[in-house]
Amino acid sequence: MFLASIMWMKLVSYAHTNYDIRVLSKSTEKGAAYGNYVDPENMKDPTIKSLLYFMLAPTLCYQPTYPRTTCIRKGWVIRQLVKCLIFTGLMGFIIEQYINPIVKNSKHPLKGNFLNAIERVLKLSVPTLYVWLCMFYCFFHLWLNILSELLRFGDREFYKDWWNAKTVEEYWRMWNMPVHKWIIRHIYFPCIRKGLSRGVAILISFLVSAVFHEICVAVPCHIFKFWAFFGIMFQIPLVFLTRYLQDKFQNIMVGNMIFWFFFSIVGQPMCVLLYYHDVMNRQAQVLLLKEDRRPGRPEDPGGRLGLREDPEDLGRLRRAASLARCRVRSGVRRQQQRMVRLKLRNPCYAQVPPVEMKFELKDGLKTSYRYRFLFVPV
């Protein structure tokens, strides 16, 4: 989904920029006043070669020509690749050793004990910050520069010193320069040209950013809870708050401390907990299809379903699931084909291998069957 969003933004920029070029070409032909300021190099017709280069280049804003370097530094590329592998391994180590145990032993922050949620968030704040910094370094500093070197791409301003941001507004302007330039060119300036105020243009820009953040998280997780959307939209009052504090106290540390507090101590750990528990708790169905009939056995006390050949994973599944029987009518007798639907309270157990397992299920007729079950997420 991340790559699909990048391709969509690139195509929008390609179409939008070429439309502006055609408008400028017609204006210069009519003798417009600004025709003398148009660079002929940027008035070239689009070609397949320029489109393919733009699709591979580490930028989201299209233009017919880009600054290019003269050669590829192979030794430098190898060193950056080694660094990228090292920091990727470090991210995996932190996730497996620190983040996974914390989130697995936690409860939903909005449904459990409030003090327990605060304790989990504080425990997650340091490892999630380290993972985010490693991700930022690997992607923005290493990978984008490696790609630029291989393509001899000259414009390598992928970020600025966002860690020194005095306000939240400065952070969003400096931490992701490719996306910032795309929003400025294709969202903010078109809104200004349409006569909208600066505040409305900023609001629309944040709205578009929030939609993309939600899509990039919700689609891979198959769940729409809008946590990422609301998290981005919450930045708007923080922008005005940090700007007000900066103007009032004239102290660069006030806005910077507020930014780091909401960014690392509260924001990221809370999002990790919310999405983890929502994904793990989403409803799933397990279809149990009978394969053959076996001699009957006594029914379990209390009318509970009896499970035989119960491996460890199936035992965990049984403890986590609530069973509801449903009969399936077909061309055969109903005693010969049945379906049992399991609504899982924690469908993460449905993700453990093997996907197909066999066990014996007893019904009210005191007859034992052998079933195979298939996991069908909903």
What pLDDT was estimated at residue 182?
93
Could you tell me the pLDDT band of residue 10, with boundaries at 50, 70 and 90? very high
Annotated catalytic residue within 180, 186, 213, 277: 213
Give the lowest-confidence range in 29-38, 89-98, 122-131. 29-38
Closest to 267 (Cα-Cα) out of 99, 90, 101, 132 = 132
pLDDT top residue among 227 and 307: 227
**Nearby residues of 55 by Cβ (< 8 Å), 6 or more positions away:** 7, 10
What pLDDT was estimated at residue 216?
87
Active site residue 108: no
285 phi and psi angles, rounded to 5 deg: -120, 140
Condensed to tens digits (0 to 9), the pLDDT of residues 240-265 reads 888 887 777 776 677 778 878 887 78
pLDDT top residue among 40 and 46: 46
Could you tell me the pLDDT band of residue 110, with boundaries at 50, 70 and 90? low
Structural contact between residues 70 and 152, judged by C-beta atoms closer than 8 angstroms: yes
Calpha distance 374→71 (Å, rounded): 55
pTM of the model: 0.68
Cβ-count burial 288-318 (b if 16+ within 10 Å, e if not): bebeeeeeeeebeeeeeebbeeeeeebeebb
Could you tell me the pLDDT band of residue 36, with boundaries at 50, 70 and 90? low
The CA angle 322-324-326, to the nearest 5 degrees, is 155
What pLDDT was estimated at residue 109?
67
Calpha distance 162→168 (Å, rounded): 10
- From residue 140, how far is each of 80, 174, 185, 219, 353 by CA, in Å? 12, 12, 21, 24, 36
Condensed to tens digits (0 to 9), the pLDDT of residues 132-166 reads 999 999 999 999 999 999 999 988 889 998 888 88
Condensed to tens digits (0 to 9), the pLDDT of residues 335-352 reads 333 344 444 444 443 333
